[in-house]
């Protein structure tokens, strides 16, 4: 065997018959990095958001649908779905069908006005009733005493005059307070009527009554829930 020249570069080992030092990634050997929208059985995110199909889960289908202005109310095989855009509350809500006890459309307003209205009306009636009773009794005229120049009666006349003026002020206060509270009661009634809006009311077991504002263009008189009730009643 001949000696190798020390000045020549070292030769690389031959790996042509061996295994590659770096493994190659096999794209077909593993799962895809991105799954389909319904791979986990969730809603199809590619569907139109304004359609109930957008919110259906795997195996779920629409049984009945009722338009609500720009939104809709739908009963599926599993849930009650409510889509109410253009409202202050949530745009989409869903309730499991076994928990839905009733669905209806009515009108409601700001209940804070109703909390104060009865008391204002009652106080107004009491004060105006007191003013009317004072006027009918004629207490101020009974206390009008004519001294007739008698010095002995002057002191009593002064006392009665003071009491009469106090009763007149009380009568005036009853009238003013009653009228003021009557105006307040009328104003509260007007504010409540102005705040009334059509709304969708859902009675949910375990949650109580849930009131949802109807979207723009929906009127209570135009909404028919016959098909919704029939669908909820069906198995």
In the prediction, which pLDDT does 21 show? 43
In a shared domain, residues 126 and 177: yes
Side-chain-facing half-sphere of 72: CA atoms under 13 Å: 17
**What whole-number distance in Å separates Cα of residue 211 and Cα of residue 179?**
36
Residue 159 sits in the same domain as residue 183? yes
| Residues 157 and 129 reside in one and the same domain | yes
pLDDT score for 133 = 85
Q: Mean pLDDT over residues 65-89, rounded?
A: 86
Domain presence at residue 34: no
Average pLDDT, the chain: 75
Q: Which range of residues forms the domain containing residue 163?
A: 112-195
Q: How many domains does the chain have?
A: 2
pLDDT higher than threshold 50 for residue 32: no
197-235 burial: b if 16+ Cβ within 10 Å, else e? ebbbebebeeeeeeebbbbeebeeeebebeebeebbeee
Q: Tens of pLDDT along 154-193? A: 556 666 667 778 888 888 999 999 999 999 999 999 999 9
Classify 100 as helix, strand or coil: strand
Task: Read off the tokens for 177.
Answer: 């307070």
Do 101 and 207 lie in a common domain?
Answer: yes
**Residues sharing a CB contact under 8 Å with residue 125, sequence separation 6 or more, in sequence order:** 178
> Dihedral angle at the C-alpha atoms of 82, 85, 87, 93, nearest 10 degrees?
30
> Are 181 and 132 part of one and the same domain?
yes
Angle at 111 between CA 122 and CA 92, to 5 degrees: 170
Q: What is the pLDDT of residue 220?
A: 66
Length of the chain: 235
Q: How far apart are CA 210 and CA 225, in angstroms?
A: 17
- Residue 124: pLDDT over 90: yes
Query: For residues 106 and 76, what is the distance between their CA atoms, to the nearest angstrom?
Result: 23
pLDDT of residue 26: 41
Whether residue 29 has pLDDT greater than 70: no
CA-CA distance, 123 to 177, in Å (whole number)?
Answer: 9
Residue 100 has a pLDDT of 93
- How far is 169 from 131, CA to CA, in rounded Å? 11
- What's the rounded mean pLDDT across residues 65-80? 88
104 lies in some domain: yes
Predicted confidence at residue 176, as pLDDT, reads 94
- Note whether residue 6 is domain-resident: no
- Given pLDDT bands bounded at 50, 70 and 90, which one contains residue 49? low
Beta bridge partners of 203: 102, 209
User: In the predicted model, is pLDDT for residue 128 greater than 70?
Assistant: yes
Report the CATH number that the domain containing residue 58 is assigned in CATH: 2.30.29
What's the confidence (pLDDT) of residue 228?
87
Residue 39 lies in a domain: no
Instruction: Please give the share of the chain, as a percent, with pLDDT higher than 90.
Output: 24
Confidence of residue 68 (pLDDT cuts 50, 70, 90): confident
How far, in Å, are 86, 103, 120, 145, 187 from residue 123 at the CA level? 41, 38, 5, 34, 15
How confident is the model at residue 188, as a pLDDT? 94
CA distance 227 to 11: 86
């Amino acid at each position: 065997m001949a000696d190798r020249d020390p000045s020549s570069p070292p030769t690389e080992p031959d790996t042509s018959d061996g295994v590659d030092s770096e493994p190659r990634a096999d794209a077909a050997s593993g799962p895809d990095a991105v799954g389909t929208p319904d791979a986990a059985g969730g809603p199809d995110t590619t569907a139109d958001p304004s359609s109930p199909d957008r919110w259906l889960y795997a195996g779920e289908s629409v049984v009945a649908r009722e338009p609500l202005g720009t939104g809709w109310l739908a009963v599926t095989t599993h849930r009650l779905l409510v889509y109410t855009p253009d409202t202050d509350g949530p745009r989409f809500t869903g309730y499991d069908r076994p928990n839905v006890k009733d669905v209806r459309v009515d009108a409601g307003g700001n209940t804070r006005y109703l909390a104060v209205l009865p008391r204002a009306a009652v106080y107004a009636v009491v004060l105006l009733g007191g003013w009317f009773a004072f006027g009918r009794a004629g207490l101020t005229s009974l206390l009008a005493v004519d001294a007739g120049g008698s010095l002995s009666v002057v002191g009593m006349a002064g006392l009665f005059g003071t009491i009469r003026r106090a009763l007149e002020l009380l009568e005036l206060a009853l009238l003013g307070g009653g009228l003021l509270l009557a105006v307040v009661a009328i104003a509260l009634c007007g504010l409540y009527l102005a705040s009334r809006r059509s709304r969708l009311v859902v009675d949910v077991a375990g949650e109580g009554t849930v009131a949802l504002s109807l979207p723009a263009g929906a009127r209570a008189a135009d909404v028919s829930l016959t098909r919704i009730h029939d669908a909820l009643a069906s198995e």
